[in-house]
């Protein structure tokens, strides 16, 4: 048998690994000095080979989870909250990287409009909840009220108190409706957040991540800590408990979160139709037309 299919598969696998490495090369633009400082603060980094081996294994399991959710018409909501720059986005990116966007989607809502500010607080989130066979990952969620809105003064104490009274029952309603609700809090130390903010300031590919709200989180570190503690105390219910992901080590945080999520949901193998490539149908009367050169993207690389 010809070795061509094997060579082709190996090339595809290499492309897959290259994509992972592209995503992982987050500090490629940093100066040598900043790299040195960062590595000195993270001497026990996970070896790249071991990290990618586990990442690909967990992502293959997430595909099985996706198939199970789709087949059984399950509904899954995963909430990602935490300190600014704690690694929520990186974890979400790795979880969804190989999933079908028709099944698993990310919801990251902007600041509410003037109209949305007059709505019932949970109203703007409800349309994004999953139907049967869907997974929704909230990159920040209704817990904005307990965090940034409270600390920054966008919500008064009466509104915050109303939120704390409403959210446990709101989440119990979601669970009673058949939604599997998982809540993650990504935690990092004060020193680690400061270093990541400095990296973003000096990296032109990351400066867009620094919003005025992010910068204020450094000034109001203790206020955010108190708000987080109040939130845990009042919203950590048996039907939807919080799970804390230590995020100082990005790679381990991603893998631990993915592994934990897989362990919470009793997914299994589902029937699949056997896939086979049909033969190409050739029409002897068909002649392919030559398209104008200006339709093509210039071959610069």
The full DSSP string for 127-170 is: GGS--TTEEEEEES-GGGTTTHHHHTTSS-HHHHHHHHHHHHHH
Residue 57 pLDDT exceeds 80: yes
Residue 165 banded pLDDT, cuts 50, 70, 90: very high
Which phi and psi (to 5°) does residue 290 adopt? -85, 125
Q: pLDDT at position 282, please?
A: 86
Residue 236 per-residue DSSP state? -
Residue 153 banded pLDDT, cuts 50, 70, 90: very high
Structure tokens at 7: 């060579």
Q: pLDDT at position 208, please?
A: 64
Residue 105 pLDDT exceeds 60: yes
Global pTM reads 0.85
CA-to-CA distance for 233 and 183, rounded, in angstroms?
Answer: 14
What average pLDDT does the segment 79-102 reach? 94
157 CB-contact burial (10 Å; exposed 0-12 / middle 13-18 / buried 19+): exposed
For residue 103, the tally of other CB atoms under 10 A from its CB is 18
Strands 242-246 and 179-187: parallel
> Regarding predicted confidence, which is higher, 217 or 16?
217
Residue 86 per-residue DSSP state? S
Model confidence over 178-205: pLDDT tens digits? 999 999 999 999 888 888 877 777 666 6
Q: pLDDT at position 22, please?
A: 60
Long-range contact list for 37-42, CB < 8 A, 24+ apart? 37/195, 38/195, 38/199, 41/191, 41/192, 41/195, 42/248, 42/249
Residue 1 banded pLDDT, cuts 50, 70, 90: very low
For residue 80, the tally of other CB atoms under 10 A from its CB is 26
Strands across the sheet containing 134-139: 104-107, 134-139, 75-82, 179-187, 242-246
What average pLDDT does the segment 242-269 reach? 96
What average pLDDT does the segment 89-116 reach? 96
Structure tokens at 125: 């989130």
CA-to-CA distance for 184 and 147, rounded, in angstroms?
Answer: 14
| All domains of the chain in start order, with CATH | 47-110+128-268 (3.40.50.300)
């Amino acid at each position: 048998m010809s070795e061509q299919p094997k060579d082709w598969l190996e090339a595809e696998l290499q492309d897959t690994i290259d994509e992972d490495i592209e995503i992982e090369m987050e500090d490629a633009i940093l100066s040598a000095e900043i790299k040195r400082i960062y590595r000195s603060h993270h001497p026990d980094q996970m070896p790249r080979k071991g990290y990618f081996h586990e990442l690909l294994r967990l992502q293959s399991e997430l595909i099985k989870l996706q198939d199970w959710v789709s087949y059984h018409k399950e509904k899954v909501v995963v909430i990602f909250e935490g300190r600014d720059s704690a690694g929520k986005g990186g974890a979400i990116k790795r979880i969804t990287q190989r999933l079908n966007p028709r099944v698993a989607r990310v919801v990251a809502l902007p600041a509410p409009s003037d109209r949305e500010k007059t709505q019932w607080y949970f109203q703007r989130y409800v349309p994004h909840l999953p139907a049967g066979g869907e997974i929704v990952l909230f990159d920040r969620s209704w817990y904005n009220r307990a965090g940034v809105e409270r600390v920054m003064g966008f919500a008064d104490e009466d509104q915050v108190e109303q939120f704390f009274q409403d959210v446990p029952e709101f989440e119990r309603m979601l669970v009673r409706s058949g939604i599997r609700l998982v809540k993650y809090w990504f935690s990092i130390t004060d020193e680690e957040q400061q270093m990541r903010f400095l990296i973003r300031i000096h990296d032109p590919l990351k400066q867009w991540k620094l919003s005025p709200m992010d910068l204020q989180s450094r000034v109001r570190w203790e206020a955010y800590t108190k708000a987080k503690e109040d939130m845990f105390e009042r919203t950590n219910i048996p039907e939807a408990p919080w799970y804390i992901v230590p995020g100082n080590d990005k790679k381990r945080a991603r893998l631990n979160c993915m592994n934990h999520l897989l362990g919470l949901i009793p997914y299994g193998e589902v029937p699949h139709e056997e896939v086979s490539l049909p033969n190409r149908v050739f029409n002897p009367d068909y002649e392919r037309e030559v398209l104008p050169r200006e339709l093509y993207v210039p071959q610069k690389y």
